[in-house]
Amino acid sequence: MSAKAMSANTESAPIEAAMSEPTRFDYCHAAKRVLEVEVAGIQQLSQYFDGTFSHACQSIIQNQGKVVVMGMGKSGHIGKKIAASFASTGTSAFFVHPGEAAHGDLGMIEAGDIVLAISNSGESSEILALFPVLKRLNIKIISMTGKPESNMATLADIHLCIGMPEEACPLGLAPTTSTTATLVMGDALAVALLQARGFTEDDFALSHPGGALGRKLLLKLCDIMQVGEALPKVVPDALVRDALLEISQKGLGMTAIVDENDQVLGIFTDGDLRRLLDKRIDVHTTKIGDVMTQNPTVGNPNMLAVEAVNMMQEKSITGLLLCENGKLVGALNIHHLLKAGVM
């Protein structure tokens, strides 16, 4: 290579190195600013929780139909979440896309429904185009906008303001603070309605049967307990060694001591065995009835699994005998509850 070519390569090297270096930018500072702006925006919402908010809640409570949520673009995405929150907390609701509504989906809306129309600008042409039809059907409209003077605000029966001082986007273009505020207003509605209806954990579980919360709130002990031949049980005249064999075979770390009618007289656990060995008691000659724990904590097979968890934690036990009228019908330990996903 010529000296001239080598010189050219040497001169270009610093430039190429500089171009390959990543641009220095404080991403964390930008993220913290977003948080600050959005938190400040949410705090502004408290001024809008007034008589109008109460009126909107009361209208939904008294409504005989469903809440139909509408929104375009980002407002639509937030609207879907709001509708889902309503539906899972006792307020029947669903989302309808305004564009699709104008092409047939309006038939999903019936007299007696309430429409919750969302638009930060309050000038969504797709939603405003539906107002005359909704009015003709005598459907109440609650609008949620950031502009009290907008058409959607003034034409609606009730207007919920979500006006924010500024977007977190430095260009003031991308919906950021406004969509967060919309979501919070929707959550406020859903939770206020939940409390007003007296909605309970059991009600919530009925609409979430497939999730972990549903399992925790709906699962009963009879659904997971060991029964029949898998039940560990011995009579009081059995030797301790026989009880140990029963514990080992049934794998629950305990055995029930029962009479001839399966009435529970006591319990013997792995922990009891350790304490017994410390006392140097002969397991080959001692009867289990002489060393069992009398009046053990028992449960009912119709108990909710979450109730059993609370009981076992309170009593500091890892196994539970399940009885009906004192008769042994099932048993389980902590591993059954873990496997069922309630712990």
Q: Model confidence over 178-237: pLDDT tens digits?
A: 999 999 999 999 999 988 888 766 656 555 555 555 556 678 899 999 999 999 999 999
Instruction: Please write the tens of the pLDDT for every residue from 306-320.
Output: 888 889 999 999 999
pLDDT of residue 18: 47
Q: What's the pTM value of the predicted model, to 2 decimals?
A: 0.60
Q: How far apart are CA 5 and CA 106, in angstroms?
A: 73
List alpha helices for 256-304, DSSP H: 270-278, 288-291
Distances (CA, A) of 181 to 40, 53, 73, 263: 10, 14, 16, 61
Instruction: Please write the tens of the pLDDT for every residue from 267-317.
Output: 999 989 888 888 888 989 999 999 999 999 999 999 988 888 889 999 999
Q: How far apart are CA 112 and CA 140, in angstroms?
A: 8
CB atoms within 10 A of CB 131: 18
What average pLDDT does the segment 23-27 reach? 84
Q: Which two tokens stand for residue 338?
A: 């873990």
CATH 3.10.580.10 domain residues, the chain: 221-339
Residue type, 10: T
pLDDT of residue 277: 86
The CATH code belonging to domain 221-339 is: 3.10.580.10
pLDDT of residue 215: 58
Distances (CA, A) of 97 to 104, 106, 108, 124, 125: 11, 9, 11, 12, 13
CATH 3.40.50.10490 domain residues, the chain: 27-199
CB atoms within 10 A of CB 230: 13
What average pLDDT does the segment 42-71 reach? 93
Classify 228 in phi/psi space as left (phi over 0), alpha (psi -120 to 50) or beta. left
Q: Which two tokens stand for residue 87?
A: 């539906």
Element (H, E) at 41: helix 27-44
CATH architecture of 27-199: 3-Layer(aba) Sandwich (3.40)
pLDDT of residue 112: 86
pLDDT of residue 197: 84
